[in-house]
Amino acid sequence: MPRLGSKKSRSGCIQCKARRVKCDEIRPCGNCARYNVECSLLSTPPVTSNRASPHPSRSNAASSASPAPSSATSASPHVIRPPLSQGENVTGGWMEDLELMHHYTAHSYLTMPGVETARQTWGYAVPQEAFKYRFLMHSILAFAANHLAHIHPSRSHHFHLLGSTHQTASIKGLNEEISNHEMAAINAHALFAGASLISLNAFADTDGHNLNALIDIFALLRGLHTILGTTEPLIRKGPFADIVRQIPVPSEHKPPPLLSAFLVDIQALSTGLRPLYPDDRCNAAELLREALQNGIENSTYPALRAVMTWPMNIDTEYLELLRARTDQDVVGVFRQYCRIMEYAGTEWWFLSGWRNISQQFLLHS
pLDDT digits (tens, 9 = 90+) for 175-185: 999 999 999 99
User: How far apart, in whole angstroms, are the C-alpha atoms of residue 126 and residue 120?
Assistant: 9
How far is C-alpha 316 from the geometric centre of its chain's CA atoms? 20
* pLDDT for res 221: 92
| Span 288-303, pLDDT tens digits | 999 999 999 988 899 9
User: How far apart, in whole angstroms, are the C-alpha atoms of residue 68 and residue 178?
Assistant: 12
User: How far apart, in whole angstroms, are the C-alpha atoms of residue 319 and residue 303?
Assistant: 21
User: How far apart, in whole angstroms, are the C-alpha atoms of residue 314 and residue 321?
Assistant: 12
User: How far apart, in whole angstroms, are the C-alpha atoms of residue 90 and residue 38?
Assistant: 10
Considering the domain architecture, whether residues 164 and 290 belong to the same structural domain is answered as: no
Q: Choose the final residue of a domain: 202, 217, 244.
A: 244
Considering the domain architecture, whether residues 155 and 114 belong to the same structural domain is answered as: yes
Count of other CB atoms within 10 angstroms of residue 59: 8
34 falls within a domain: yes
User: How far apart, in whole angstroms, are the C-alpha atoms of residue 227 and residue 198?
Assistant: 12
Cβ 222 vs Cβ 311: under 8 Å: yes
Considering the domain architecture, whether residues 239 and 273 belong to the same structural domain is answered as: no
The torsion angles phi and psi of 253, rounded to 5 degrees, stand at -70, 130
Q: Distances from the Cα of 343 to the Cαs of 149, 161, 295, in angstroms? A: 21, 27, 14
User: How far apart, in whole angstroms, are the C-alpha atoms of residue 102 and residue 99?
Assistant: 5
59 falls within a domain: no
CATH number, residue 34: 4.10.240.10
Considering the domain architecture, whether residues 235 and 263 belong to the same structural domain is answered as: no
* pLDDT for res 80: 45
| Span 243-302, pLDDT tens digits | 998 877 777 778 889 999 999 999 998 887 765 555 666 688 999 999 999 999 988 899
User: How far apart, in whole angstroms, are the C-alpha atoms of residue 42 and residue 64?
Assistant: 13
User: How far apart, in whole angstroms, are the C-alpha atoms of residue 171 and residue 108?
Assistant: 20
Q: Choose the final residue of a domain: 32, 48, 64.
A: 48
Cβ 364 vs Cβ 211: under 8 Å: yes
pTM of the predicted protein model: 0.74
pLDDT, tens digit only, all 365 positions of the chain: 444 344 445 678 877 776 667 788 887 887 777 766 778 877 765 544 444 444 443 334 334 333 443 433 334 444 544 444 433 444 458 899 999 999 999 999 999 999 999 999 999 999 999 999 999 999 999 999 999 999 999 999 999 999 999 999 999 999 999 999 999 999 999 999 999 999 999 999 876 788 888 988 998 998 889 899 999 999 999 999 999 988 777 777 788 899 999 999 999 988 877 655 556 666 889 999 999 999 999 888 999 999 999 999 998 888 888 888 888 888 888 999 999 999 999 999 999 999 888 777 655 55
56 falls within a domain: no
* pLDDT for res 105: 97
In one-letter notation, the amino acid at residue 244 is V
Cβ 190 vs Cβ 130: under 8 Å: yes
Cβ 275 vs Cβ 290: under 8 Å: no
Longest dimension (CA), the chain: 80
Cβ 273 vs Cβ 279: under 8 Å: no
* pLDDT for res 63: 40
Considering the domain architecture, whether residues 97 and 218 belong to the same structural domain is answered as: yes
